[in-house]
Amino acid sequence: MEKIVRIENLIFKYANNNDEKRVLDDISITIDKGSFTAIIGKNGSGKSTIAKNINALLLPTEGNVFVYEYNTKADEHIWDIRQCAGMVFQNPDNQIVSSVVEDDVAFGPENLGIEPQEIRRRVDYALKEVDMENFRKRPPHMLSGGQKQRVAIAGVVAMKPDCIIFDEPTAMLDPRGRKEVMKIIKELHREGITVILITHFMEEAAQADRIIIMDDGKIEMDGSPVEIFEKSNRLKELNLDVPLAVELRDRLLRKGLNISKDIIDKESMVDYLCQLK
Amino acid sequence: MIRDITLGQYYNVESLIHRLDPRVKMAWTFMYIIGLFIINDFIGFVFAGICLALVIYMSKVPVKFMVRGLKPIFFIIVITFILNMLMIGGEVLVKWWIFSITKEGLKQASIMAIRLIMLIIGSSILTLTTKPINLTDGIEKALSPFKRFGFPAHEIAMMTTIALRFIPTLLEETDKIMKAQQARGADFESGNILRRAKQLIPILVPLFIGAFRIANDMAMAMEARCYRGGDHRTKMHSMQYEKRDFVAYGLIVVFLAAIILLRIYF
């Protein structure tokens, strides 16, 4: 499997902070091309800092971050890195540049210096991907939070990245907007884009192929959702939520029911319970 | 309520004038204003007035919107008229105490007033028929030859674009802050001017902090989308002149020529 992102012994400190606190403390992760990884942790655990290091918005204090073979420290490849690994931020309002939806989506491709006709094609494609093609001429401030975030995603999709890093994309949205955005993230992943989802909602992380749990700048756990939720006690020690289905499974186990460890989501739980009678 | 505000005064209809390239419209406005200052007789104003009326008709914008722009400067027009009327000497028509109205003064005052009124109406056509965002693009394109001399055409256009984008966002933010302060007993409506100005401080401080935070986030988001200034940058709408734009440029020349001829021969 080709590795798209390689983080090697990454240590990160904010330079202007005098105290020696390491925001990221010796992190090593590799991300497979085409995978869907969720990084979850409490506020201040360093999860967003990882995202900004992958995108070369922040540079490692020590250690290295590679996107494909490009080191983020090498200035000459910085634009290749940012094109390969796009990024969607938390606040949809603060990442939309233009007062017309389609012009905003065109912003990234315009920065890459692409031909106008090709930009047009990409903008149409990207807006279709996020299901916003009927809003192309609208001003963004008239859209709902979820719609705005979808426009922001389209802006990244139009740059044709191989990997998209979502930095808490649903944190400021209502439940409906959250659902819309998660649906699009999963669709993009199905179409072959590598997804790195930073979140603090366990329900969202549970939809990934791999969950990395961060605590205080270190990787606490790393594995598939099934592996992670097997140790649900450890999650509770870290003050993290456990999805409802996993909580129910654990309680049923404690009651002596023979329930499979693979049941971690609502659908499989329903299937299992319906077979019981 | 704040969500419904329209930016600038763009009037959204389809018309030939709306479709014209913003650069042509800017050139027209500029030349039209110069033309107004060349004219110094009523015959010239009649001609310019007919042209203006024709353009207004073609733009499909109701005249009501054109005249609205006059309201704030109505006072200035009146003062200009009165001063011109009283200050210019010549053949006396009416005399009262130290004031005297002369024939020349009356003529000059009328010309001045008509000039101002036509200037305001004419230039409001530009903003009524062009979206602010297209105007910005037009300015960038029109000024880009001066980039060679270090003129930051792209930067100015980008700043304007972002400013336009954030006007509604910051208004919403202001609304939110005001409501939050009012909920805690702040009173923005009573007291004299000084008191009221003081009461704005608790709004302005969080608003400014918010604006800086937004600017920081925005800069990061733009960098993440490979923004690196105007070089290497392409545009989706590559602003190409069409036949109608060249016709409009041609008409500018005709318009100016006609005005100069009218001035010389009448």
At residue B238, the pLDDT reads 75
Nearest to A141 among B3, B214, B225 (CB): B3
Choose from A55, A76, A97, A105 for mutation: most chain B CBs within 10 A. A97
pLDDT band at A275 (very low <50, low <70, confident <90, very high): confident
A113 contacts on B by Cβ (under 8 Å): 232-234
The pTM of the full predicted model, rounded to 2 decimals, is 0.81
B234 contacts on A by Cβ (under 8 Å): 109-110, 113-116, 119
pLDDT, tens digit, 9 for 90 and up, residues A50-66: 999 999 999 998 899 99
Query: Is the CB of residue B243 less than 8 Å away from at least one CB of chain A?
Result: no
- Is A251 among the domain residues? no
Contact across the interface for B220 and A123, Cβ inside 8 Å: no
- Is A124 among the domain residues? yes
Alpha-carbon distance of B17 to B126, in angstroms, equals 9
A:B CB pairs within 8 Å: 96
CB contact set of B256 (below 8 Å; sequence gap of 6+): B31, B34, B35, B38
- Is A277 among the domain residues? no
Percent of chain A with pLDDT over 90: 53
Return the residue of A nearest to B173 by Cα.
A93
Domain count, chain A: 1
- Is A162 among the domain residues? yes
At residue B8, the pLDDT reads 57
Beta strands in chain A (DSSP E): 3-12, 24-32, 36-41, 62-67, 70-71, 85-88, 163-167, 194-199, 210-215, 218-223
Alpha-carbon distance of A200 to A23, in angstroms, equals 17
Residue type, B240: Q
How many other CB atoms are there within 10 angstroms of residue B185's CB atom?
6
- Is A268 among the domain residues? no
pLDDT, tens digit, 9 for 90 and up, residues A171-210: 999 999 999 999 999 999 999 999 999 998 888 998 999 9
Contact across the interface for A82 and B232, Cβ inside 8 Å: no
Burial (CB count <10 Å: 0-12, 13-18, 19+), residue B6: exposed
Are B36 and B115 a contacting pair, CB within 8 Å? yes
Better-scored residue on pLDDT, A252 or B230: A252
Query: Is the CB of residue A89 less than 8 Å away from at least one CB of chain B?
Result: yes
pLDDT band at A276 (very low <50, low <70, confident <90, very high): confident
**Once rounded to an integer, what is the mean pLDDT over residues A209-216?**
92
Give me the interface pTM, i.e. the ipTM: 0.86
At residue B220, the pLDDT reads 92
Choose from A78, A104, A110, A125 for mutation: most chain B CBs within 10 A. A110
Radius of gyration of chain A (CA): 20
Would you give per-residue pLDDT tens digits along chain B (266 residues)?
344 444 456 777 888 888 899 999 999 999 999 999 998 888 889 999 999 999 999 988 888 877 877 887 888 899 988 888 888 777 777 777 777 788 888 888 899 899 999 988 888 888 888 888 888 888 888 888 888 888 888 888 888 888 888 888 888 888 889 899 889 887 777 778 888 888 888 889 999 999 999 999 999 999 999 998 877 888 888 778 889 999 999 999 999 999 899 888 87
CB contact set of B228 (below 8 Å; sequence gap of 6+): A79, A111
For B222, the token pair is: 């733009």
Continuous H helices in chain B: 16-19, 22-38, 42-59, 63-68, 74-87, 103-129, 132-143, 153-183, 193-199, 201-224, 243-265
- Is A248 among the domain residues? no
Contact across the interface for B164 and A123, Cβ inside 8 Å: no
Distance from the Cα of B229 to chain A's closest Cα (Å) equals: 8
Q: Is the pLDDT of residue A89 over 60?
A: yes
What is each CA distance from A9 to A3, A48, A61, A79, A176, in whole angstroms?
16, 17, 10, 23, 39
Are A249 and A259 a contacting pair, CB within 8 Å? yes
At residue B102, the pLDDT reads 83
For B262, the token pair is: 């009218």
Contact across the interface for A116 and B234, Cβ inside 8 Å: yes
**Once rounded to an integer, what is the mean pLDDT over residues A9-35?**
84
Nearest to A106 among B217, B222, B236 (CB): B236
- Is A260 among the domain residues? no
Contact across the interface for B234 and A115, Cβ inside 8 Å: yes
Alpha-carbon distance of A245 to A267, in angstroms, equals 9
- Is A274 among the domain residues? no
Domain span at residue A15?
Answer: 3-242
Contact across the interface for B224 and A89, Cβ inside 8 Å: yes
A15: domain CATH number is 3.40.50.300
Q: What order do you get walking across the sheet with A163-167 strand by strand?
A: A85-88, A163-167, A194-199, A36-41, A210-215, A218-223
At residue B6, the pLDDT reads 46
Query: Is the CB of residue B171 less than 8 Å away from at least one CB of chain A?
Result: no
Half-sphere exposure of B261 (CA within 13 A, CB side): 8
Contact across the interface for B221 and A99, Cβ inside 8 Å: no
At residue A242, the pLDDT reads 86
Contact across the interface for B228 and A111, Cβ inside 8 Å: yes
Query: Is the CB of residue A115 less than 8 Å away from at least one CB of chain B?
Result: yes
